[in-house]
Amino acid sequence: MEALQHQQVRVKVGQYAKNGRSDCGDSYYMLATDDYFLCVLADGLGSGRYAKEASKAVCDTVEKNPDEDVDRLMELCNKSLLKKRGAAVAIVKITFDTKEVVYSCVGNIRFYFYSENGKLTYPLPVTGYLSGRPQVYKTQRFRYEEGSSFLFHSDGLQITRVRPLLQGGKSLEYISSYLHSIVSDADDTTFLIGRLP
């Protein structure tokens, strides 16, 4: 299980291929600098090699353009999928000095953001997927407090009660272990659980 440790953000990741296959159709990329945390999660349509090819093209695009804003990254990711299978894509960029979260998603990827004061933010995605065709994006912005937690996951993870999981100061290790225990092999699955100290 991959982990990212940074002074401003900690993240644990779990990724599982459908039916134990060698290729997972989900891909992710994350980067923490002194200024921001950037993360993209892409779920290629279907599963197997061509789903992986599509989701990896998205992540490669974000990796090459980390300083772009979220709107521009979504446009670039969409272009990267021309003549590929297509993918559900979600991008979050968290700026540390302004304590701002910027999020955009097309498709069935879930993002939950939990503040220490008990507020759970769940930005609704735009339905559909990116495929290189013209696409409408909806970018959402909100502020966060220190000690906030977030959960990002593809649709392979079936979880119904997120708030109890994120509240009460549970450790990232505890939460990731729980998520690992409920993963089914019926679909490609990726989750990223993070905390902003």
Does residue 1 register a pLDDT over 80?
no
| Closest by CA position to 49, among listed 20, 76, 22 | 22
Does residue 102 register a pLDDT over 80?
yes
Q: What is the mean pLDDT of residues 188-196?
A: 97
Structure token pair of residue 86: 């297509």
Which 3 state secondary structure label does DSSP give 133? Answer: coil
Return the H-helix or E-strand segment holding 62.
helix 49-64
Q: To the nearest whole percent, how much of the chain has pLDDT over 70?
A: 100
Residue 108 contacts residue 126 (beta carbons within 8 Å): no
Q: What is the reported pLDDT for 66?
A: 98
CATH number for the segment(s) 3-196: 3.60.40.10
Beta-carbon count within 10 A of 20 CB: 7
pLDDT digits (tens, 9 = 90+) for 164-181: 999 988 999 999 999 999
Please state the φ and ψ torsions of residue 76, each to the nearest 5 degrees. Answer: -65, -40
Does residue 85 register a pLDDT over 80?
yes
pLDDT digits (tens, 9 = 90+) for 104-156: 999 999 999 999 899 999 998 899 999 999 999 999 999 999 999 999 999 99
Task: Indicate the pLDDT class of residue 160, thresholds 50, 70 and 90.
Answer: confident
Return the H-helix or E-strand segment holding 10.
strand 10-16
Q: What is the reported pLDDT for 36?
A: 98
Task: Indicate the pLDDT class of residue 20, thresholds 50, 70 and 90.
Answer: confident
Round the average pLDDT of the chain to a whole number and report it. Answer: 96
Residue type, 159: I
Q: What is the reported pLDDT for 83?
A: 95
CA-based torsion, 60, 196, 7, 173: positive or negative: negative
Q: What is the reported pLDDT for 195?
A: 97
Structure token pair of residue 18: 């459908």
> Domains of the chain: which residue ranges?
3-196
Q: What is the mean pLDDT of residues 68-89?
A: 97
